[in-house]
Chains A and B, each alone.
Chain A
Amino acid sequence: MSIWEYANPKKFMATTTPVIPWVSWASFGLILVGLGWGLFLTPAAENFEHSVKILFVHVPSVLMAINAWFMMLVTSLIWLVRRHHVSALAARAAAPIGAVMTLIGLATGAIWGQPTWGTWWAWEPRLTSFLILFLFYLGYIALWSAIEDQDTAADLTSVLCIVGSVFAVLSRYAAIFWGQGLHQSATFSADKETNIDPSFWWPAVLSMGGFVLFFIALVLIRTNALIRLRRAMALEARANRGAS
């Protein structure tokens, strides 16, 4: 069996539809436990006091904002190379989710920055590249809506996605590339011994896992909706041709 079988819209929908409720409930559970634990059961940190609780929503949203763009990059490349419509629709489905994650990251980052750095915003490399990534998300969504021919829209948005990937990479690694600015490099990593106090590690991991599953569930829901919409538009066009 080949993975490309799932490029067939019917096969894709038949496979993903039964999975969606499980992924959705798992994501709700993980987010509820992760954020509840982070908000109510973690102690105040030595340096940041209670503002450290903001990281349990800020880090997962930024993680998904950047990785959603990388997922869109992969599916866009698949579209450009193999012309599978499902992959183009999956990229389109992911864009609004990534945009909302970026918005959450920007908002919670500003709320975190005010008590920690004494400012809501600074034009430093990581924050600026993340803001540009948000603008790329908006441009990507607008471009899909602006072009009537779906294949042309998929082509152009794929190119835009490749260009925007520069800012997705910069958002992730700007603090390392330039070694300056307010934003620190990675706060969390898989290695709990060296990076983070154990009392913060589990709620952080649970909420990050919840956000990942949340993203997957919504991408599947929205991709299935776009497949149905595309099919409906094709049938309507055929009916119109028959009537005229």
Chain B
Amino acid sequence: MLDFGKHTFHVWASYGVTVGLLLALIVASLVQARAAKARLDRAEKTDG
């Protein structure tokens, strides 16, 4: 791990929080998109 002197923890913590939350947002959005597509496919099949 790169050493940023007395701010090493602060720098890595801020980047860790940011990347972690952005990844969580991406995963949640893709799961939501996939679920919506599957539900519409099912509804269209039922509707004929």
Q: Which residues of A contact B (CB under 8 A)?
A: 31, 35, 39-40, 44, 49-51, 53-54, 57-58, 61, 96-97, 100, 103-104, 107-108, 111-112, 114-115, 214, 218, 221-222, 224-226, 228-229, 231-233, 235-236, 238-239
Contacts and interface: CB of A to CB of B under 8 A. Distances in A.
A51 B43 contact: no
Contact of A115 (B10, B15, B29, B40): B10
A181 to B, nearest CB: 21
A109 to B, nearest CB: 9
Given A112-B10, A232-B39, A57 B15 contact: yes
Contacts of B17: 104, 107-108, 111
The prevalent SS among residues of B at the interface is: helix
Given A112-B10, A238-B47, A40 B33 contact: no
B36 A100 contact: no
Contacts of A111: 10, 13-14, 17
27 contacts: A35-B15, A39-B15, A44-B4, A50-B4, A50-B8, A51-B7, A54-B10, A57-B14, A57-B18, A103-B21, A104-B21, A108-B14, A114-B10, A222-B33, A224-B33, A225-B29, A225-B33, A225-B36, A225-B37, A228-B37, A232-B36, A232-B39, A232-B40, A235-B43, A236-B46, A238-B47, A239-B46
Interface in B1-48: 2, 4-8, 10-11, 13-15, 17-18, 21-22, 24-26, 28-30, 32-33, 35-37, 39-40, 42-44, 46-47
